[in-house]
Amino acid sequence: MILVWIIALLMLGGILSLISGKWSHRAPRWISLAANTLAFLLVIRVWISNYARMSISEQHNWIIDLSWEWIPQFGIQFHLAMDGLSLLMVMLTLFLSIASILVSWTEITERVGFFHFNLMFIIAGIIGVFTALDLFLFYFFWEVMLIPMYFLIGIWGHENRIYASFKFFIFTQASGLLMFLSILALYFIHGQSSGEYTFDYMVLLGTTMSPAAARWIMAGFLIAFLVKLPAVPVHNWLPDAHTQAPTAGSVILAGLLLKTGAYGILRFVLPLFPDAAAEFAPVALLLGVISILYGAKLAYAQTDFRRLVAYTSVSHMGFVLLGSFAFNELALQGVIMQMISHGLSTGALFILAGLLQERIHTRDMTTMGGLWARVPRMGGIGMVFAMASLGLPGFGNFIAEFLILLGVYQSAVIWAILATLGLIASTIYSLHIIQRIFHGKPQKEWSLTDFNVREMCVMVSMVLLLLWIGIYPKPFLLTSRTSTFQIQKFLQPGMNYPDEYQSDKDIPPCGQNGSVPYSNTPSEQIDITLSKFPRQKTSLSFMETHGFRPDCYGKYGILFKQMQGETS
Amino acid sequence: MFGTIWIIPFLPLLSFLILAITGKRWSEKTVSILGVGSVGISALFTVLIGIQFLTNPPPGHFVVQTLWSWMEVGSLTPAIAFHLDALSLVFCFVVTFVGFIIHLYSSEFMEEDEGFSRFFAYMNLFVGSMLILVLADNLVLLYLGWEGVGLCSYLLIGFWYKDPQNGYAARKAFVVTRVGDTAMAIGLFLLFTSFGTLHIDTLLDAASQNWATGTTMAVLASALLLGGAVGKSAQLPLQTWLPDAMAGPTPVSALIHAATMVTAGVYLIARTNVIFMLAPATQLAVAIIGAATLLIAGFAALTQVDIKRVLAYSTISQIGYMFLALGVGAWSAAILHFMTHAFFKALLFLAAGVVILAMHHEHNMFKMGGLRKELPITFWTFLIGSASLAALPIVTAGFYSKDLILWYAWAGEQGNFWLWLAGFAGAFITAIYTFRMVFVTFYGKRKSEISHKPGKRMLIPLVILAVFSIIGGLVETPHTLGHIQLFSKMLENVLPSTGILHSGISEELILQIVTALLALLGIYLAYYLWLKKFSLVQKITQVKLLATSQRFFFSGWGFDWLYDRLFVFPAVWLARINRRDFIDLFYDGIADANRYFHQELRKTQSGQIRWYALGILIGALITLTIVVFI
Amino acid sequence: MTVVPMETGLLLAGILFLLGLVGVLVRRNVIFMLMSIEIMLNAAGLAFVIAGASWGQADGQVMFIFILTMAAAEVSVGLALILQFYRQFKTLDADVASQMRE
């Protein structure tokens, strides 16, 4: 029920903002801030009250599961549910929306009511996307977040806003329609095979379909999500939209809209089409690596600050794509961490760009330089986020990228190595930002003021959150852990848990330190070990080169098994 | 006492936080008390913990203090935990002690700089990160410290950020070391994939049990770790960033780019020595890299005119010695050389800082001269440092450590004649370039007025370091000179001892005498060429071949030139030609095609009713045809 | 009274229709175009009557009466438009009206 309250609260806040905007400029800001903060506190309460249960459970469960009839004739339900993954995403959404309301405080002076109306509906739509478990409802929310965003860019954007908003709308709408076709196809295939026509996610998970059908239907979903992500080569809407959008729009685009793509892959593509996804994995890894490197390269070439940051998003979201298709716990957890950290760090860089543009009315970095002396707070904050963006340990981005690369390395060594080169590339463009804007000689005598208290509050809270994820990410990892188990379960139905290992009497005891040198292990033993995972394409040569016994490592065994399943 | 290990890195980090957030408000005095004091107390704690560690060793000769579990994902369970053993103790001691002295020096050196508090914030952050690096009990935490010191190095090289040249040097340092870090990261992935853990002790145990000597995996893993070490320690082929790093304030060069951070690579290899010993091929590569680097950097140092660049190249060269020692399995000798080098190189940099400050920020040695009388304490301490660097026999610390390395290169199981020869030749070059620097800077005619006389806070550090540059080597002496083995005894629980092929006091003695004579010869040569017969040098450089080779050495063997053409220019070119993202052309193409068809189809809307009627007719006919005939 | 074969009647209707169509296509005077449309309508009506007669059904004639009514309505609307057109452009040339396009 609380989810409905949150969404209703946001929509109500939006409508009130619209109405009150007729009389006052301040009222919509306060109303939407209050609505958002209240919603945020509600979600935090949900997190705190469920944290203990989530952190110890090995089983996936939905914290909140709410299902009402909506259009029963077509099997459409109003089905909202939340697990660890959704919870983290909803928290990120509400946090960033508070930040974007605060940074728009003085930036937006025209049609304030309508602006906040749009903002609140985007947020409501995003929360809907993160919690909807009925595919029709999911598509509904997908559209709800799209159209206000179009207005946000088109009305409050910068000089080339019409072009950017059209490009954004056409890309996302066209791909969204493909997804809708896929949803319908899934609906009919499931209906024909089981006689039950429904859009319910839980029911559709069990759909049996031919591999060819799965491939095509997955393609529809995947294209929609890849466009949102965005992955090269469907990333082109992003730089334009980011450059032209108002600051709040950029923050929400980078911080949240992109995450809906990643969330879609995790929630829908992988569990609904595990086999097709496994087939597609090599291409996805390739696209991920290309996104990482190509995005970084383009980022370095830009002179427009926001365009640069937009391309870094492409690069960072490449890690998400890469990790999603590595199919193991490390990488999946990394992906979730990357979604949060990237939302914060890139969101913050866009805020920085926006606040800078508000002050000096340009985004062109060639006219900046040497700003540190004038605005040390801005410089310090900029430095922090540039470092976060290059993946400096201590920030959440490092945890995320490290886990992703570690996970990918276990399933695809070459791609992991190529993706690691992205770390060098990210260093180059991040330092480029600092050098061009804050260091060096001033190109022009700008008169600008440093961050005020309101702006400092926003930025510092983002820094603190990033540091928290970087230094003590455990609460976040534990929250999302069962969700990744759930995804893995669909990908590898044969996955065993450590307990099953130890109960097996066939395998001789392990040697000291939980390991047996390979030279001492007769090949039959390995055969026995292998016979336990018949569903996996376990490769004997892999074990030979590595010389380890999965069962001898206790809980490490799971990991090894995944590794075996995927490297072959 | 062991429960307080966490305080050692915590204090500088706390001071960093305070200074970074509120630094602008404090006076220089408060800032220095905070900045210097925090490192000082850390040093005090290190000494106290060290005394307890040595007098009352804990079981297993190491202590682990776990603060909290960092993350738990699958089998990846690194903790924020500190592991103190003899090796990390030595590093901790040097980092905090030398760090403290350099901080003290900086409090005068940086006086009236507008970024005074920023400087101390960065320096404290550096000390904190470096301590995390050497105390980390798992490779992920080590990587955190590793990147942290890289960041501080970047921040401090570019400290005077208004000059774009400094910014360029800073970025170069960060990016080049990051190349090495990337290799190291891949190495971590490989190790984790093989053993399911990144906890250093567990990892090394697992490696020694599961990998046979010379296994491909061991060679790969160690080579990747070596990549990281080479980047951080400015060894071939990633050495190019260090000379440029001298753009930072001189105390920074002393602390980060001489005494501590650049030796992180040495620490990494020593820490993961098991993996390197399982991969003899890589270990040989370490030795060869060390030998080649020490020669290349030595020649480059010989031709520099900037006093700090001489010292920078000499640092690269001395770390080359450490790598040589690691490569021949002389683990404790490498660490000993790290320690003595930290003393005398920090001393040389700090003394050079005094000189530079006195000469209106002039870096060119040939515009100095005759400073012996003007800056007596600086001169004497600089002389002591130089003597130690040139390994003047018996009286200097540098002699004992370098002698040990040369001995193992000659007599160790993994040593051979060529490695020894490289080290031997390097010792000769070292003596020449070091005393060239001394004679050019301090002797001869005075060329300009002194602008700044050093105060107490600059001179006391020099004197302390000078004392350590003399006595620092006495913890380990060769058979011929008393055979004290305090240092290697202390490290024997962490680092394997070195196998010796030859032995015999006479052989050792002969080698020592030859090396000592060579060093003295080098000093004399420097005296003859740059003090007595300077005209000869000028004549020599007129010879075309020699002039060319001098230019070649001066540019650091043209590595920058090569890398610019191999990596930098292509990357920049690629960025420039594809600034507008060629993939956009495809989508723009779709848009243009639509627009074109729109224009074409528009023409049919002529507005003339007869044409529309004709259109209806044709349409009706086509429909009829389809209905009737098909 | 000789029975006229249906084919002949339909041929007549077709010729009438074509005459009307050509008239619509080639004439520029709006009034003539309207008259040509009337001819086409009547051709269609003739075809209905012929078909009704040949099958002995009343439907054809019923349909013709419908067409007649519709044609009357259409002519009244069309003439009103033409009058308005003439007032606007002081001409009856249909091509002049092409500027209504945009």
Say yes or no for a CB contact (<8 Å) between A474 and B71: yes
Say yes or no for a CB contact (<8 Å) between B162 and A560: no
The chain C residues in contact with chain B (CB within 8 A) are 21, 24-28, 33, 94-95, 97-102
> Tell me, what's the pLDDT at B361?
81
Phi and psi dihedrals of B476, rounded to 5?
Answer: -150, 110
Distance of CA A306 to the CA centre of its chain: 20
| pLDDT (average), residues B454-477 | 86
DSSP string computed for B365-391: GGG---HHHHSHHHHHHHHHHHHHHTT
Q: Which of A225, A221, A12 shows the shortest CA–CA distance to A123?
A: A12
> Tell me, what's the pLDDT at B532?
78
Q: Which residue of B has its CA nearest to A329?
A: B74
Chains A and B touch (3+ CB pairs under 8 A): yes
- Residue A189 CB contacts under 8 Å (≥ 6 apart), including other chains: A207, A209, A213, A217
Whether the CB of B605 is below 8 Å from some CB of chain C: the reply is yes
Percentage of chain A beyond pLDDT 90 is: 44
Contact B407, B508 (CB under 8 A): yes
Q: Which residue of A has its CA nearest to B154?
A: A431
At B103-136, the pLDDT tens digits run 999 988 888 888 888 899 999 999 999 999 999 9
Where are any strands of DSSP class E within B42-94? 63-69, 79-84
Place of tokens 């409501």: A124
Among A350-359, A498-507, C87-96, the range scoring the smallest mean pLDDT is A498-507
> Tell me, what's the pLDDT at C100?
62
> Tell me, what's the pLDDT at A503?
37
Provide the sign of the torsion angle of the four alpha carbons B577, B581, B587, B592, taken in this order. Answer: negative
| pLDDT at residue B165 is higher than 70 | yes
| pLDDT at residue A367 is higher than 90 | no
* Torsional class of A224: left (φ above 0), alpha (ψ -120 to 50), beta (otherwise): alpha
> Tell me, what's the pLDDT at A493?
59
> Tell me, what's the pLDDT at A561?
55
Say yes or no for a CB contact (<8 Å) between A423 and B185: yes
> Tell me, what's the pLDDT at A436?
86
Distance of CA A275 to the CA centre of its chain: 23
> What chains are in contact with A, requiring at least 3 Cβ pairs below 8 Å?
B
Contact A80, A4 (CB under 8 A): yes
At B319-347, the pLDDT tens digits run 999 999 999 888 888 999 999 999 999 99
Question: Using CA atoms, how far apart are residues B155 and A329, in angstroms rounded to an integer?
Answer: 36
Say yes or no for a CB contact (<8 Å) between A300 and B71: no
Q: Which residue of C has its CA nearest to B617?
A: C21
| pLDDT at residue A45 is higher than 70 | yes
| Cα separations in angstroms, B622 against B610, B617, B626, B629 | 18, 9, 6, 10
- Residue B88 CB contacts under 8 Å (≥ 6 apart), including other chains: B134, B135
> Tell me, what's the pLDDT at A537?
36
> Tell me, what's the pLDDT at C1?
54
Which of A399, A427, A478 lies closest to B174 in CB terms?
Answer: A427
* Torsional class of B482: left (φ above 0), alpha (ψ -120 to 50), beta (otherwise): left
| pLDDT (average), residues A147-155 | 91
Whether the CB of A376 is below 8 Å from some CB of chain B: the reply is yes
Two tokens, residue B623: 């429909």
Q: Which of B217, B214, B224 shows the shortest CA–CA distance to B181?
A: B224
End-to-end CA distance of chain B: 99
Question: Using CA atoms, how far apart are residues B361 and B330, in angstroms rounded to an integer?
Answer: 40
Say yes or no for a CB contact (<8 Å) between B74 and A393: no
> Tell me, what's the pLDDT at A564?
53
At B407-456, the pLDDT tens digits run 888 888 888 888 889 998 999 999 999 998 888 888 877 777 777 788 88
| pLDDT (average), residues B82-104 | 91
Whether the CB of A325 is below 8 Å from some CB of chain B: the reply is no
> What chains are in contact with C, requiring at least 3 Cβ pairs below 8 Å?
B
From A469's Cα to the closest Cα of chain B, the distance in A is 10
From C102's Cα to the closest Cα of chain B, the distance in A is 9
Identify any residues that bridge with A77 across adjacent strands, giving them in sequence order.
Answer: A69
| pLDDT at residue A117 is higher than 80 | yes
From B611's Cα to the closest Cα of chain C, the distance in A is 7
| pLDDT at residue A189 is higher than 70 | yes
Contacts of B610 in chain C (CB under 8 A): 24-28, 94-95
SS3 category, A411? helix
Q: Tell me, letter by letter, the H, E, C secondary structure of B150-188.
A: HHHHHHHHCCCCCCHHHHHHHHHHHHHHHHHHHHHHHHH
Which of C98, C100, C102 best probes binding to B when mutated, by most B CB atoms within 10 angstroms?
Answer: C98
Which of B605, B610, B612, B621 best probes binding to C when mutated, by most C CB atoms within 10 angstroms?
Answer: B610
pLDDT class of B56 with cuts at 50, 70, 90: confident
Among A294-298, B137-141, B210-214, B538-542, the range scoring the smallest mean pLDDT is B538-542
| pLDDT (average), residues A325-332 | 88
> Tell me, what's the pLDDT at A562?
55
From B627's Cα to the closest Cα of chain C, the distance in A is 18
Whether the CB of B606 is below 8 Å from some CB of chain C: the reply is yes
Which of B148, B162, B583 lies closest to A236 in CB terms?
Answer: B583
> Tell me, what's the pLDDT at A180?
93
Could you give the ipTM of this predicted complex? 0.90
Query: pTM for this structure?
Result: 0.86
| pLDDT (average), residues B250-272 | 89
Place of tokens 């003596």: B431
| pLDDT (average), residues A324-350 | 91
* H helix runs in A157-273, sequence order: 161-194, 201-204, 211-228, 237-244, 247-252, 258-264, 270-272
| pLDDT (average), residues A438-445 | 81
Whether the CB of A392 is below 8 Å from some CB of chain B: the reply is yes
* H helix runs in B443-542, sequence order: 456-471, 486-491, 505-527, 534-542
Percentage of chain B beyond pLDDT 70 is: 100
Whether the CB of A82 is below 8 Å from some CB of chain B: the reply is no
Question: Which tops the pLDDT comparison, A449 or A152?
Answer: A152
For chain A, give the number of residues.
568
pLDDT class of B289 with cuts at 50, 70, 90: very high
Say yes or no for a CB contact (<8 Å) between B608 and C26: no
**Single-letter residue type at B107:** S
Q: Max Cα separation, chain B?
A: 118
> Tell me, what's the pLDDT at B76?
85
Which of C94, C99, C100 lies closest to B610 in CB terms?
Answer: C94
| pLDDT (average), residues A469-489 | 88
Question: Using CA atoms, how far apart are residues A180 and A264, in angstroms rounded to an integer?
Answer: 13
Contacts of A386 in chain B (CB under 8 A): none
* Torsional class of A514: left (φ above 0), alpha (ψ -120 to 50), beta (otherwise): left
| pLDDT (average), residues A90-100 | 93
Q: Which of B168, B260, B186 shows the shortest CA–CA distance to B222?
A: B186
| pLDDT (average), residues B32-51 | 91
At B178-203, the pLDDT tens digits run 999 999 999 999 999 888 888 888 88
> Tell me, what's the pLDDT at C48?
92
At B349-397, the pLDDT tens digits run 999 988 888 888 888 888 887 778 888 888 899 999 999 998 888 788 8
SS3 content of chain C, % helix, strand, coil (to 5): 85, 0, 15
At A259-288, the pLDDT tens digits run 999 999 999 998 888 888 888 889 999 999
Q: B-C interface: how many C-beta pairs under 8 angstroms? A: 28
Report the mean per-residue pLDDT for chain A: 83
| pLDDT (average), residues B460-466 | 90
DSSP string computed for B558-583: THHHHHIIIIIHHHHHHHHHTTT-TH
